[in-house]
Structure 1
Amino acid sequence: MYRGFSLRRAAQTDAMFLGDMLVEAANWRAGGVRPRHEVLTSAEHRRYLAGWKRSADDGLVATGEDDVPVGAAWYRVLPQNAPGFGFVGVAVPELIIGVHPLWRARGVGRTLLRGVVELAGSQGHSRISLSVERDNFARNLYRAEGFVVVGQGSARDTMVRATT
């Protein structure tokens, strides 16, 4: 148990909650208002969840009191012909992370990030990638946790970290 929360492995039954966290990730700005259905049906976001949990998918869920989920970090290995925002290579899983707004700034995101990097390493992945908008405050967390920028778009960066 960490500061009021614990971690567990993500399961196939977590798909709906992962959808909630994908919406949180997409709406990270204060006042983010993209409706859930819009985020989850957009081609750019649905690749991070469609068909969860495939054999190469894995992740962690943070739970608060009474095992209520409060955040999640998961990864997918995406194909070269359908890459995600943070695609860097065929065998490099791409990380997605979301934390319920009431649980932010309490160590949940950092703990999930560290845990999913370790999990990816234990599953044989030597690197893990992500994409983050340049003005997203989480970018500082990723840098502090060893992620480095390997690609730049007009408003977002692709970052990678070794898992070992």
Structure 2
Amino acid sequence: MNDDLDRIMAVMDAAFDPAWAEAWTRRQVGDSLALPSTHYALADARGGLPAPGAPAAGFTLTRHAPGEEELLLIAVRPEWRGRGVGRALLRRALDAARERGAERMFLEMRHNNPAEGLYRQMGFEPIGRRSSYYRLPDGRFLDAITFGCKL
């Protein structure tokens, strides 16, 4: 598990732009993974499972509750974006949520997140908005959009 946490954090450090302050700390991820309702998946550069000890190209982190699942984080290293890794991870997360009995999956993202197109392609639809939820380093705010996907 510690090896997987290292691989998750390596992707996290590479994938999240510090300007958006979206990356989680190692402690936040570790504490989350200690809960039985939290699940993760790693992907290699082809979207499959990475070999033991091999670096990951991406990961997902989800939280299950009765009848639903929330996509907490999805990340792909910048050098592997646009090659299907995110799509493969999201498809695996949706399949795993279905297997755990979820009927819907939810996620929340900032208004200008470039992953919105992928989410929509995979069946997610906007269901809510939190006005001025994300604060930018320059003091401006962006809305958060909540998406849902029927499984």
- Per-residue displacement from partner, 1:58-102 (whole Å, max 9, x unpaired)? 232102486321101120147xxxxxxxxxxx7532112001111
Structure 2 SS opposite 1:50: helix
Equivalent of 1:120, from 97, 110, 125?
97
In structure 2, stretches of 5+ residues that fail to align are 132-142
User: For this pair of structures, how many residues does the alignment match?
Assistant: 133
Residue 146 of structure 1: aligned partner: 123
- Distance verdict in 2 for CA 1:123–1:70, change over 3 Å: same
**1:61-72 mapped onto 2 (5 Å cutoff):** 61-64=42-45, 67-72=54-59
1:159 aligns with 2:147: yes
Instruction: Give unmatched runs, 5+ long, in structure 1.
Output: 1-10, 79-89
Q: Among residues 17, 40, 44, which one is paired with 2:25 in the alignment?
A: 40
CA distance in structure 2 between the aligned counterparts of 1:160 and 1:19, rounded to whole angstroms = 27
The runs of at least 4 aligned residues of structure 1 exceeding 3 Å deviation read 19-26, 32-36, 64-67
Q: Per-residue displacement from partner, 1:91-122 (whole Å, max 9, x unpaired)?
A: 53211200111111111001110111011101
* Alpha-carbon shift at residue 51 of structure 1 (Å): 4.0
TM-score, reference length from structure 2 = 0.72
TM-score calculated relative to the size of structure 1 = 0.67
Q: Which amino acid aligns with 2:5?
A: A
Amino acid at match of 1:58: H
Task: Report the identity percentage.
Answer: 26
